[in-house]
Amino acid sequence: MPSSSFVDYIKIYLRSGKGGAGSAHLHREKFVAKGGPDGGDGGRGGHIILRGSRNVWTLLALRYQKHLFAGNGGCGGSAGSTGADGDDVIIEVPLGTVAKDAETEEVLCEITEDGEQKILLKGGRGGLGNLNFKSATNQTPRYAQPGEPGKEGWFILELKVLADVGLVGFPNAGKSTLLSVVSAAKPKIANYPFTTLVPQLGIVSYRNGASFAMADIPGIIEGAHEGKGLGLRFLRHIERNAVLLFLIPADSDDIVKEYDILLNELQLYNPELLDKPRLLAISKCDMLDDELKAEIAKNLPPIETVFISSVAQIGLVELKDKLWKLLNE
């Protein structure tokens, strides 16, 4: 997906509909001198609803609709007729979307399943007609309730990409190349940092027709948890991955130091990320002989590791096996 088409953060103004007023109508017809109250209730205002859709991958459509208003409820009528409910506004969002209050940043709801619906803003209730207020001591009430006002405000919609495996590494670590080899995804690949500016998703085929989703998360830099680079925008997507695959190139000056920096950034952003299963892949190992691999293996962090080469397609079967095991443990 082109980076210009991938939108994972939107600030939007929403307003639910106000409820319709109840009717204070009195029954009138030929030969009935004093009919009783027959005013109906007002209809409810329209809701603002978020609905998950597996066919939507971005919040791009909302970029051009910064203000959305639901319909108002209709007023009650005579003969006890209830006003029509206001039209709901249903916003289709990608799976993994989180809605927050823009002022308090309180999380209001999350959409994680296809077809899942959450009412973000309820419409106002319709007012009661005078028929509801008739009593033994008040036979002819000439009043009715107004409808409740709707609710409104600024909201933030954030997308956190849902994937089984998230690729974690510094810029230019070979994450996009790996994703392009093990799946049908076609991320931009070049020999300079920050080639990937938005997450890329790919479906990795496994044995016996099985598969799992892998996400190429844009590269992390030291200080990302403080917002350096586009750190916070990148780290947000890692929260929804089941397994974390750390990717560090074999020609790194210090593999352990790189791993520790990556791990530290995740911990400082959200300590719960360290509870996720993780695997370390040493990429670009086609430039290594067995002796060099053995030397590197002596100084690796205490985590299960696999040596791979995306270009030479070395170790990819073993990598898939290890990831599948972690996903199904």
Taking the C-alpha atoms of residue 311 and residue 324, their distance in angstroms, rounded to an integer, is 22
Residue 96 clears pLDDT 70, i.e. is over it: yes
Indicate the angle between helix axes 316-328 and 175-182, nearest 10 degrees: 90
Taking the C-alpha atoms of residue 153 and residue 70, their distance in angstroms, rounded to an integer, is 13
- The model's confidence at residue 299, banded by pLDDT at 50, 70 and 90, is confident
C-beta separation of 323 from 245 below 8 A: yes
| Beta partners for residue 11, in sequence order | 156
E-strand ranges in the chain read 9-15, 48-52, 67-69, 89-93, 97-101, 107-111, 117-121, 152-159, 163-168, 200-205, 211-216, 241-249, 278-283, 305-307
Terminal Cα-to-Cα distance of the chain (whole angstroms) = 32
Residue 76 clears pLDDT 60, i.e. is over it: yes
- The model's confidence at residue 229, banded by pLDDT at 50, 70 and 90, is very low
E-strand ranges in 238-313 read 241-249, 278-283, 305-307
Residue 256 clears pLDDT 50, i.e. is over it: yes
C-beta separation of 94 from 52 below 8 A: yes
Task: Tell me which H or E stretch contains 325.
Answer: helix 316-328
Residue 118 clears pLDDT 90, i.e. is over it: yes
Integer angstrom CA distances of residue 201 from 4, 52, 194, 205, 273:
16, 18, 17, 13, 20
Residue 160's pLDDT is what?
78
Most confident segment among 115-129, 152-166, 177-191: 115-129
C-beta separation of 98 from 150 below 8 A: no
* Every domain range in the chain assigned CATH 3.40.50.300: 163-328
What is the maximum span of the chain, computed from C-alpha positions, in angstroms? 108
From 187, 179, 183, select the one nearest 204 (Cα to Cα): 183
DSSP string, 209-247: G-EEEEEEPPPP-TTGGGT-TTHHHHHHHHTTEEEEEEE
C-beta separation of 234 from 270 below 8 A: no
Structure tokens at 292: 């060099």
Instruction: Give the architecture-level CATH label for domain 163-328.
Output: 3-Layer(aba) Sandwich (3.40)
Q: What value does the mean pLDDT take over residues 142-164?
A: 90
**Would you give the distance in Å from CA 263 to the centre of its chain?**
24
* Every domain range in the chain assigned CATH 2.70.210.12: 3-159
Task: Tell me which H or E stretch contains 328.
Answer: helix 316-328
CATH top class, domain 3-159: mainly beta
Taking the C-alpha atoms of residue 192 and residue 230, their distance in angstroms, rounded to an integer, is 17
Integer angstrom CA distances of residue 314 from 284, 307, 308, 317:
9, 8, 5, 8
**Would you give the distance in Å from CA 147 to the centre of its chain?**
34
Q: How confident is the model over 19-70, as pLDDT tens digits?
A: 999 999 988 887 777 778 999 999 999 999 999 998 887 888 888 888 999 9
Taking the C-alpha atoms of residue 49 and residue 122, their distance in angstroms, rounded to an integer, is 8
Indicate the angle between helix axes 255-269 and 231-238, nearest 10 degrees: 90
Q: How confident is the model over 183-228, as pLDDT tens digits?
A: 865 544 444 344 445 677 788 889 888 888 888 877 665 554 444 4
